[in-house]
Structures are given as structure tokens and as C-alpha cells.
Structure 1
Amino acid sequence: MTTRRIDALDVLRGVAIMGTLGTNIWIFTSPAGPTGVLDALGQTGTVETFLRFLTNGKFLALLTLLFGVGLELQYRSAERRGTPWPGWYLWRAGLLFVEGLIHYVLIFEFDVLMGYAVTSIIVAYLIGRSDRVIRVWMITVGSVFTTLVALVTLGMMYDQASVDGQAVVPSTLFTEGGYLDQVAARIDMMGIYRLEAVFIVPLGIVLFLLGARLMRAGVFEGSDRGATLRRKLMIVGLGVGAPLNLLTSFAGETWSLVDRYLLPPLVALGLLALVTTIVHRMSGAPGLLRRGLTGIGRTALSCYVLQNLVASALCYGWGLGLAGRFDGLRPWWVVAAWAGICALLMTLSTLWLRRFERGPLELVWQWAYKAPQPRPVTGGVTDVSSRR
């Protein structure tokens, strides 16, 4: 692993974290909160629809790909050290699930960490298998997932007439309710809010494995092979996926699942390739933007939780209540809120890393995740490229 490749991963994680906020900020700034997400589908203006298109699903997919890269790195490290796999990694996945559960209950309805934890346990048993086995799993799970999205989309088209005639009762929980009221609502409605896991887990299996395969293929390398692969990904992702995704964004709520789960992963591949290429072409000392993105990338877990906490305090009734006060200024105040929170994350992460190697939550993880010391490997160096 070259230093430049690690730099690219840090920058990519920073971009992914800021991009997920770009999606979630529309939830926080809605006076109806998370309950207004489905109500707003197909009912926003042209400008807001385009702004939502820029982030919706794409950075979730990018973050998921990067989780797969991280899992591959964990596997390689275990192989190199001669430690059992998945072994102690399952404890890591358990910690992630607990972190996600706490984050869901106390802060945000659409937490993705719980889904990632379940996905990582499944993929941990696949990551060391042969390329043929991994390919079969990707094709099978991907086909089932695509079929599920297609069937639900057809069902939404069929029921569109009856849905259009229903009146929506606006919720005041997030403009007038207290913090504990929102916590109680998350607990009471866990079955509804956690339904997204039906889509996140199978999609995550495919993207985790794809991220691992991309790293094995050398997509992060500065070699000609890496550059060629990145060019192909940019053509497919940005040249084909992005235009199709733009069409589905304006196609109405019946296409919402295709718009969020099927096409964005293609765009995410193009973004991954584009950002990596830009990092490879940079020379000299990192600028302000790159330092900020790298800081967020190195403290990704802390920044993910903090951005949702800050957005809640700014927008909800128990905080400053800006969602209700500034609703008439949409969509521009939403963009300003996103930019302000991103600037705050860049600043805080950069200052924090001047004194610490890891973010606050990452330090807690370091304490909790006390992996056993590696056993010495006999009979030569472990071949990390071998597959069972």
C-alpha cells in the first residue's frame, strides 16, 4: 500500500461523509422531520429536486464501497499476521451494531451503521473466498435485490392513483416536540424506520464485495492499470449512470427506489474513480480543502455522528428550531446549513488531529477493540493473495 493510496482513501471517506450529510440535511430541515421524507417525494420544485439529485444515494453507495475496502484491508492484515479470520472481527461488527443502535435511538432515525454491522458479518465469511465464489454471490444477491426494487416500483405505480388522493396530516413532533418525545417515537416506530435495512443489507453485500474487488484490481494504485480502470469507471458512472439517475430524480415518487438504490451505485463508482484520480494528480502540500476532507476521513465515525447531532440541534424544536423558522427560505438555506456544518466538521477534525491520531469515537473503539496479539507465522510469509 502506497502512501498516496492511503491519502486517497482518507479523502474519499471525507467526501462520502459530507455527501451523506448532503442527503440527510433535507430530512433535518423539513418541518415534518423524517416523517416528511415520503410526503415530499415528487412535490419539490425543480431547483430542490436537482439539488437532492446531487447527493441522494450516491454517497451512501460510496461510503458502502469504502466499508468494503476497509473490510478487505482488515482481512489482509489478519492473513499477514496469521490471526484467525473472521475471529476477533466479529467483535468489531458487534461494536458497530451497538454504536448504530445508540445513534439511532438518541440522534437519527435513518442510521446506516446497524445495517453495515449486519452486512459486515455476512461479508466477513465471504471476503477470503475465491473470485468465482464472490462473483456468484454478487450476481445472485444483486439480481434478487434488483428484482425486489423492480417489484416494489411496479407496485407503487399500480397504487399511485389511490396514494394521490390521500390527505397527509402534518406532524409537529420535530418542530414542537421535546427531545425525549423524539427518542420515544424512534423506539415506538423502530419497525418502520428500520425497514430501509431490507434494502441496505443486500445492497451492502454487493457493494462491500465490489469494494474489495476494486482494491484487489488496483483501482487505488498510481499504475497504468489503475488509471485505465478508473477511466472506465468514470465513463460508466458519470457518463451513463449520472444522466439516467437525473431522469429518475424528476420521474416522480414511483421511481424513488430506483433513484436511491439502483442507479446511485453506478454514479458512486465514477465518483470514487474521479476523486482518486484527482488525488493522484495533486502535488505539493495539501490545500485547505484537501486537509479538511482528509481530517473528516480520518475521523469518519465521529464526524458521521456529530454532523447528525449538530443538524438536529440546529433544526429541531428542542434546539434552535430553524427548520420551522426558515421553511420559507428553502432550498437555499438548506444548502447554507449543509455548508456550515461541513466547514465546522473540517475545522474540528483538523484541530483534533493535531493532538490525537484518531477521532473521539475512534479512540473509544481502540479501547474497546482489544484484538489479541498475532501469533507468529511458521513456514514462511503468509501469502495474502491466496484464496480458500
Structure 2
Amino acid sequence: MTTTAAFAPDRVGDKSSHRPRVDVLDVLRGIAILGTLGTNVWAFADPDGPAAGALGGSSPGTGSEWYEALARWVFNGKALAILTLLFGVGLYLQFESAQRRGGRWLRGYLRRPAVLFAEGLAHYVVIFEWDVLMGYALAGLVAASVLRHRRTRRVVLALSAAVHIGLIALLTTHRLQNPPGADVLPAWTSDDYVAQLVGRLDNAAVYRSELVVLLPMSVAMFLCGAALWRSGAFGDTAAGARIRRRLMTLGLGVALPVNLALAVAGGAGLFAERYLTAPLVGIGVVAAVTSLLQRHARRATAGGPRGAVRRSLAAVGRTALSCYILQNLLASALCYGWGLGLAERLGGASPWYVPALWLTVCGVNVAAARWWLRRFGGGPAESLSRRLTGTRRR
């Protein structure tokens, strides 16, 4: 296992065998990684800087095109929720592995969030303003400390969810009373690399503020992911199918229309859209995709093709941490002034270039992941994490 549970290759099996890879989780993780870029690419491409769209400033294009609004809504909060849920699954699989080996779980785990936090800090300073790894490290430590006790897990999950809902309510109320101005932070899309690096350090309080929102949400989603794994929701069984149908009803039948309504309303509803309803939609998407993949796997077992799309997504999922870093680095080089400067050159034009930019970076990511895995067993960032934490691939 690697240090990052959300990005780790997951394996299951009996106590005496080497655990086979869970292909469904790899594919879901690949979807989540590429989906996070679907949200982040708009921050990279914004000519007014990476904080403008999130905190009330301008955005690429006129902002009135239906396809821009749709592209933003499709990914906003959903991919983050899927990735966070999968972190909880990976965390629980690490816990099960430690239990089978008879090791001390929390004591053996402590180095992993420390390394993940350091990786996130480096990623924030060097590459990307809205890094999530630092928040995952802190939330993972909280979730890991309660995995041993079922009742404690439930209590912490409920408390985390309650704190998160209360925090979103406070943020929404504040937004209603204090609409943001256009000039949130100075734009630095045209600045050189050193100026951007200094800007991230100077404005860390703003750019790291999302961690406050993500912490209780992530703890709840981690424990939810662990609970879903324990319940058999990812299994190809009748019980697993029933659980997934309920999750699809909640996430896609109930939460999705509300999420869409909040997106259309805009304004202060953006907090509830991204941080309250989007996680529920993400859970529904996980259930739907898992069911689809289970059916596809049965056809493949019967002699049908496994599919290039599935193999590509699984490759990204197996090298998730590496792909997450690579896609943000590529988007920075393409959009910022120290690279091609597309944000400044094309930011006032039709926003069609932003989806095209997303597709391009996704294509490079998929090609790089598949090429790398033909030669190595795991991604370069994953290998570094294993060395830093002293863990081995199993």
C-alpha cells in the first residue's frame, strides 16, 4: 500500500493469499482524478487568477454560454466527493491489511499522513493553489484513529456531518449578507514562475481556507467510504446491488435535481451545491458506475472485450497520485505566463477552449499512465511515497 489511501492500489482476498487488485476501484479512482481536472481547469484558465471564479470574480468567456455553465456543473464537487469517498475505502483496506498482519494499526499509519501532508504542501507551493492532499492528510488521521471501534466510527461520522452542515449554513448566510467583490485577489496568470510561487505563500490564508470546509466533510466521507466497503456495496452480489440501488435513488434521484437547482440559482447557493448536495450525487455516481462495471465484468468473463476506456481509466486509477500532480503541472504550463500563457491569450474568448484544454490534458495523462504501467508496477509518485513511508507494494 502507498501512503495515500485514495490513490493506493486496492487489493482484497483471504488471509493467506496475495490480494488481487480491485479493478472497480481503480476505474472509479481514474474517473475521480480526471474529474477533478474538470473542475480545476477553470481555475487554471481564468484570466483573473485561480481565486476569481471560486471567490466571486470573473471567469473565462462571457459567463452566459450554456455549455460553460454545464461543463462547470457536471464536475463541480462531484469528482472531489468520489475521490474523497475512495480515500475512505483505501484507508479501510489498509486497516484490514494491518489487522491481518497483526500489526499496530495507528502507530504504523502515522508516517503516512505526515508524508501526505508534506507532499500536499509541496504541491501547493510549487504547482497548484487548490491542493486537497493537505486536507486529506489531516482528515485521514482523524478517520484512522476511530476505525477500530464501530460505535465510535458512527458517532464521529455523524458529528463530522453535523459540523459540516453547520459550517456550510454559516458560509451561506455570510455570503448572503456580504456578496463578494470582483477584485478578490490580484491576478498572476501572466506573472513569471517565481512571482506565482511568492503569491501562493503570501496568500496562503485565502487559498488554504478550503481546508476548513474540507476537513469535517472529508472525515465524514472517509468513514462513509469505509462503511460502504464493509457493507458489501462494491461487491457483485444481490446485497451489494440492493445497496447501490438505494444509493442511486438518494444521489441521482433526490440530490441531483437539488444540486442542479442550486447551480442554476447561483450566488450564495454555491456552497450548498459544491459541499452538501454534490457529495450525495458523487455517492450515487459511484453506485451507478460500480453496477455498470460489474455487468461489464461479467460480460468480459464470458469472453467479451474489456474495453479501451475501462483500461485507460484503470491505468489512471493505478497511478492516481502521479496523474493528479501531472495534470495540474501540465495545466499550469499551458495556462500560466511562465508557459504558453493560454489563460491571458484566450481567457476573453469563447470558453470552448477550456473543455478542449481538459480533453488534451486528460489524453496526455491517460497515455502517460498506460505507457508507464507497461514498464513499471506503479506510478513514480506512488513509488516515492512507499520509500518515504517504508511500505512495500503487496
**TM-score normalised by length of structure 2:** 0.89
| Correspondence 1:196-275 to 2 at 5 A | 196-275=210-289
1:5 shift after superposition: 7.5
Contact 1:4 1:280 in 2 (8 A): no
Q: 1:189 to 1:167 in 2, by over 3 A?
A: closer
Q: 1:87 to 1:39 in 2, by over 3 A?
A: same
Q: 1:151 to 1:14 in 2, by over 3 A?
A: same
CA deviations on 1:18-53 (whole Å, 9 max, x unpaired) are 010000000001112213122347982233222111
Contact 2:51 2:184 in 1 (8 A): no
- Rounded Cα–Cα distance in structure 1 between residues aligned with 2:171 and 2:309: 41
Could you tell me which of 328, 341, 349 is aligned with 1:308? 328
CA deviations on 1:45-92 (whole Å, 9 max, x unpaired) are 233222111000111011000000000000000000000011121101
Could you tell me which of 177, 180, 184 is aligned with 2:194? 180
Residue identity matched to 1:155: H
For these two proteins, the number of residue pairs brought into alignment is: 368
* SS in structure 1 at match of 2:244: helix
Which residue of structure 2 aligns with residue 142 of structure 1?
Answer: 161
Residue identity matched to 2:318: R
Which residue of structure 2 aligns with residue 63 of structure 1?
Answer: 83
Contact 2:28 2:286 in 1 (8 A): yes
- Rounded Cα–Cα distance in structure 1 between residues aligned with 2:256 and 2:58: 19
Which residue of structure 2 aligns with residue 378 of structure 1?
Answer: none
- Rounded Cα–Cα distance in structure 1 between residues aligned with 2:128 and 2:135: 14
Residue identity matched to 1:341: V
Asked if 1:366 corresponds to 2:380, the answer is no
| Correspondence 1:280-295 to 2 at 5 A | 280-282=294-296, 283=300, 284-295=304-315
1:154 shift after superposition: 1.4
- Unaligned ranges ≥5, structure 2: 1-11, 14-18
1:105 shift after superposition: 0.3
Aligned residues with identical type, % of pairs: 46
| Correspondence 1:1-388 to 2 at 5 A | 1=12, 6-37=22-53, 38-40=55-57, 44-45=63-64, 46-130=66-150, 132-160=151-179, 163=180, 166=181, 168=183, 171-175=186-190, 177-282=191-296, 283=300, 284-371=304-391
Runs of 4+ with >6 A deviation = 2-5
- Rounded Cα–Cα distance in structure 2 between residues aligned with 1:183 and 1:355: 34
1:167 shift after superposition: 5.5
Which residue of structure 1 aligns with residue 8 of structure 2?
Answer: none
1:251 shift after superposition: 1.2
Contact 1:106 1:183 in 2 (8 A): yes
- Unaligned ranges ≥5, structure 1: 373-388
1:222 shift after superposition: 0.3
1:4 shift after superposition: 8.7
- Rounded Cα–Cα distance in structure 1 between residues aligned with 2:370 and 2:99: 33
* SS in structure 1 at match of 2:51: helix
Contact 2:36 2:75 in 1 (8 A): yes
Q: 1:172 to 1:189 in 2, by over 3 A?
A: closer
Q: 1:72 to 1:28 in 2, by over 3 A?
A: same
**TM-score normalised by length of structure 1:** 0.91
1:250 shift after superposition: 1.5
Q: 1:168 to 1:41 in 2, by over 3 A?
A: closer
- Rounded Cα–Cα distance in structure 2 between residues aligned with 1:146 and 1:330: 36
* Coordinate RMSD, CA, aligned: 2.0
* SS in structure 2 at match of 1:88: helix
